Structure formats: structure tokens, C-alpha cells
Amino acid sequence: MSNTVKKKSRKSATKTKPNISVVPDVGTATKSNAELVARREAAVPRGVASAAPVFAQRAENAELWDVEGKRYVDFAGGIAVLNTGHRHPKVIAAAKAQEDLYTHTSFQVVPYEPYVALAEKLNALAPGEHAKKTLLVTTGAEAVENAVKIARAATGRTGVIAFSGAYHGRTLMTLGMTGKVSPYKKDIGPFPSDIFRAPFPNARDGITVQDALTGLQNLFLTDAQPERVACIIIEPVLGEGGYTPVPFEMMQALREICDTHGILLIADEIQAGFGRTGTWFAVEHSGVVPDLITVAKSMAGGYPIAGVIGRAEVMDALIPGGLGGTYGGNPVACAAALAAIEAIEEEGLLARSTAMGETFRARFAEIGARVAPFRMWDIRGLGAMLAVEFVTDFDTATPDAALTKSVIAHALSRGLILLSCGMHGNAVRIMVPLTASDAIIEEGLEIFEAALTAAVAEQQA
């Protein structure tokens, strides 16, 4: 049966050379990636890493052109920010219309309807029949920090339990919850107290659901008195940790544990939300209803906005003035988010995500068997949130970060943007816009196959 998916939405951009005359002058005539890399190294701290040594000039849907005019198929999507693609017409139109009215008042000073309208929409989309309220902020890390703050205020407790391999942000508080040292936590500690780490159930590492639950119960016995734990936070699909879904029985067990001990369950949906896995939120696959959900990334089609959606009585725990932020829920970003959500609904992108995931799984299996036998250890994920893990061989299943890095480099040279993930950096993750056409997806997969072929040959030479 064919994996081709018919699509009613807008078509992908063609391969013709873009008209860059519409790009505004940014004060430089530089058109060389090398020159811009040199300027970047002189002006920007080295801690701000860039995966690709090329500079964007223009992008459209799932394609991007650099300053030298080279075209790329984008399977990275700005780190899962562009489920509706680069410059979705509906999103751009909504943002421009809002800019003609006002761009900032600060919701804490003079409120505005777009903030309220987006909160209403998110409350309706989030799972659960209970009353909900939404706080809007600017970044994913800010959303996570506020979720913890809300949980502590609502429960009167301080403890936070996160999981190994988790990624929750780069601020000091969220780094304390993040379960990966390099590059995020290296040389930065100490981190805030009352943050505890539980094992993530990962078949790759031989950790079963029962092992993880036993580890959590041992944590309650040794370090984290459950009556003092405010929240348990988990990514329904690990992001930076390797695109590994939480087994549904684990999510269901966490819900029961939280209910037993009066702990709030937080689903960190910052990378998995807004259709990436085939549902609005990845946690829906398990049937579990969390108390709080953190959101960001693809919510606004490329505009910076984030939020916390939660039970109304929990969200109301802080006094007036206890929540907020100068730029939180910026009106232009709110307008963009409402338009992006509408596009996901109108263009059937939830179903599209599921179909794309099936296509990628089938093609990756074919490619792996054909050009890299016994090197592609796992193809995992939910919907179009997928990763391919590379190993040296199936006997030892030793992670092969070198091969992964080589595949990404060969892909870039051929016009495909990819990113890695995982505790060992040996997985390639797929974050292609859900609006990408079948032709663009196939083109990207063909480049991926060529890149993998070259990387394997290079390693064997």
C-alpha cells in the first residue's frame, strides 16, 4: 500500500531560485557563509552553538535558502517550532494584521483580547473535562519554571521529581530538572535544591516500566518524602534525550501515584505538542490527563510564545501579581498562535502527522536494510516525531555518534538540514514541517539515503 498522502493544504515551494529582492536590507552586503561565520565568532559567545555553518536568507514551508543561494530541505523545523512550516500564509497575515494595531502594552498593564482568546483556545484543546486556565509567557524554560512555581503554591510543597534524560530548559531551575550534563549542565552547578531524579523507562538501556516505578518508589523511601513533593514533571516523548516515548502504562502509573500522594502531574509538551505526534498533545496517546501542561515551540508557527495550561483551581493558587512577565503573551505572537492552531485544524495536520510518521518508518526501514545493515538500531517515536538511532553493530549495540555526525554533515552538503539527539548523540530526529509535500519529504529521504551511504563508506574506508 502506498504511503503517499493526499493533501488539501498549500503546496510546498518549488525548486526555482527564490526572489530574494523582498528580503529587507540588514545593513550588510555580505553574501558569504564563511564571512558571516567569522563575524559570528567575533560577536557571539561560543556557548551559543549553531548546528549548521550556513546563514539563512529566506525560507518557505519546508525549504530554506542560505545567503549564497543554496537551497535546503528542512527536516529540523527550527527545533520542532515549525509544524505549520516556514512563513505559513495564515500565520504571517495574522501577525501583520496585529502589528497594524499595537505590538506591546504588557498584559499586566493594559490587557488585550488576543491573550484571552488564545487562553480560551488552549483551555479547550487541552485534555480533560475540568475547568482550565492558561498563563502565557515567552519561552519554554519560562513555562516550566512557572509550572513548578504554580505547583508549589497550589500544594504548599517544594519537591520536584524529574527523569533521567529529560530536557526542560537552560535556566538554572530548569537545568536542575534537565537530565543531561553535556553540554547543558557542564561547569554550571550547583543547582536549586529539592529537585530529585527518577529513572526513565527505556528499553534501550534495559530499564523496564517496573524498574522505573521501583526506582521512583525507592526515591520516595530515600530522598523525596512524597508528602513534600509538589509535582512530577515528564516529557511524554523525550526530546533532547532521544525521542523516546514514555510507555503508556508508565504514564498511567504516574497518574495513579500522583493521585495517591496529592502530587501534581506536569506534562512537558514543549517539543511534542501541537500535532507533532498526531494528536494535539502527546500525552493524549496514553489517555492520561495531567494537571498542568507546558507548551511553546510550534504553538505560534515561529513566533516566540509559551504557556502553562492547567486545572483552574491550581492555576489560581498564586495571588494577583504572582504570575506574569513583561513580554508574556505578546499580542503579535498571540495572533500568530491563534492562526497556527487554526491552520492545524483546517489543514488536517494531526492526521497528516500520523501518515507522515508511517511513511518515515517504512522508508527508514528500507534505507537501513539496503545501505546500512545492522547499523540502524531503532526507529522510534510517535506520529511524525521520530528518531533513527545508529550503532556500531547489532551485537554490542554500541552508540555510534561519529556515524550520526557524519550523516548529518553529508546531508547538509547535499541540501538537507538534520539534527541529532540522545544521551550519546547517536540519533537523528525528524522535525520536518507537517505542511511539507510528499515530494519534498521524498526528496529529503533520498538525500538522507545518499548521506548515510556516504557516511558508511567513509567509515569503512
271 and 122 within one domain = yes
Domain boundary among 285, 312, 346: 346
Q: Are 274 and 310 in contact (CB under 8 A)?
A: no
- Give the contacts of 282 (CB within 8 A, at least 6 positions apart): 236, 237, 245, 267, 269, 272, 273, 276, 382, 385
Let me know if residue 12 belongs to a domain: no
The CATH number covering residue 325 comes to 3.40.640.10
69 and 202 within one domain = no
Let me know if residue 86 belongs to a domain: no
118 and 65 within one domain = no
Burial 404-438 (b: 16+ CB within 10 A, else e): bbbbbbbbbeebbbbbbbbbbebbbbbbbbbbbbb
Q: Are 242 and 388 in contact (CB under 8 A)?
A: no
Distance, in Å, from the CA atom of 134 to the CA atom of 310, rounded to the nearest integer, reads: 6
Residue at grid coordinates 539527539 = 421
Domain boundary among 325, 346, 367: 346
106 and 211 within one domain = yes
Predicted local confidence at residue 278, as pLDDT: 98
CA R_g for the chain = 22
**Strand, coil or helix: what is 192?**
coil
Q: For the whole model, what pTM was predicted?
A: 0.92
Domain boundary among 346, 368, 403: 346
114 and 168 within one domain = yes
Let me know if residue 367 belongs to a domain: yes
177 and 36 within one domain = no
397 and 321 within one domain = no
Q: Are 407 and 452 in contact (CB under 8 A)?
A: yes
The parent domain of residue 244 ranges over 92-346
Residue 56 region by backbone torsions, left for phi larger than 0, else alpha for psi between -120 and 50, else beta = beta
* Domain tally, the chain: 2
* Residue 379 main-chain phi, psi, to 5 deg: -125, 110
197 and 182 within one domain = yes
**Strand, coil or helix: what is 438?**
helix
Q: Are 57 and 65 in contact (CB under 8 A)?
A: yes
Give the C-alpha distances (Å, rounded to integers) separating 280 from 123, 212, 230, 272.
12, 27, 26, 9
The cell for 106 is: 504588557
The CATH number covering residue 448 comes to 3.90.1150.10
Predicted local confidence at residue 30, as pLDDT: 63
Let me know if residue 277 belongs to a domain: yes
Give the residues of the chain that fall short of pLDDT 70: 1-30
374 and 336 within one domain = no
227 and 106 within one domain = yes
Let me know if residue 11 belongs to a domain: no
238 and 193 within one domain = yes
329 and 230 within one domain = yes
